[in-house]
Amino acid sequence: MGDENQSDDVSQAALDNVKENEQKENGDAVKSDKIKVDILLKATGNAPIMKKKKWAVDAEKPIGWIMEFVKKYLKLEPEEKLFLYVNQTFAPSPDQIIKNLYECFGTDGKLVLHYCKTQAWG
């Protein structure tokens, strides 16, 4: 399976609100109805590394939405689990709003999230 096909295989609905992080050369802000938060997804343990790691996500969405997105992107089986960690310390509740996490734990303009298929930091 070629890299360029990976995006196509992921459900379009899942990718609907997710845009690749883009730099605008002329510095204009991206016009958008919704505020986006930059996230960086890092694999941990023996989790597969995502080809595309940087994403701009709707700030009002719950973090569970990102969990589902990563599961689809990595093509995990329904019964396989995915754990998401902030600060390599705690697993946020799936209904926590991304904006809250970004405001409290974001660094250098992005929220870094570590993911793995088994419990990493308890």
Partner 1 sequence: MANDREVLREIWDGKIPICFHLAQEEIMEIQQPDPFYVMVPRLSYFPLVTDKMKRHFLRYISQENADNEMWLDYNGQALKWHYPIGFLYDLFCGNDPQLPWTLTVHFTKFPETVLLHCPNKDVVEAHYMSTVKEADVLKHRGQVMSTMQKKDHNQLWLGLQNDKFDQFWAINRRLMESHGDNEGFKHIPIRIYTDDGISCQRLISPKNNDGSRKTVQQLLSELYPDKPEVKLRTHGVLIPLDTPLQWLSEHMSYPDNFLHICLC
Residue ranges in contact with partner 1 by CB under 8 A: 86-87, 89-97, 100-101, 103-105, 121-122
The separation between the first and the last C-alpha atoms of the chain, rounded to the nearest angstrom, is 34
Residue 19 or residue 121: which is nearer to partner 1 going by CB? 121
**Measured between alpha carbons, how far is 86 from 106 in angstroms, rounded to an integer?**
9
- Nearest distance, CB of residue 41 and partner 1, angstroms: 19
What count of other Cβ atoms lies within 10 Å of the Cβ of residue 79? 5
- Nearest distance, CB of residue 52 and partner 1, angstroms: 27
Residue 48 or residue 90: which is nearer to partner 1 going by CB? 90
Residue 19 or residue 110: which is nearer to partner 1 going by CB? 110
- Nearest distance, CB of residue 19 and partner 1, angstroms: 24
Q: Among the residues of the chain, which ranges form H helices?
A: 3-9, 12-15, 63-73, 98-105
Residue 5 or residue 93: which is nearer to partner 1 going by CB? 93
Residue 113's contacts (CB-CB under 8 Å, 6 or more residues apart) are: 39, 40, 41, 42, 63, 66, 84, 85, 86
Which tokens hold the place of 71?
């599961």
- Nearest distance, CB of residue 86 and partner 1, angstroms: 7
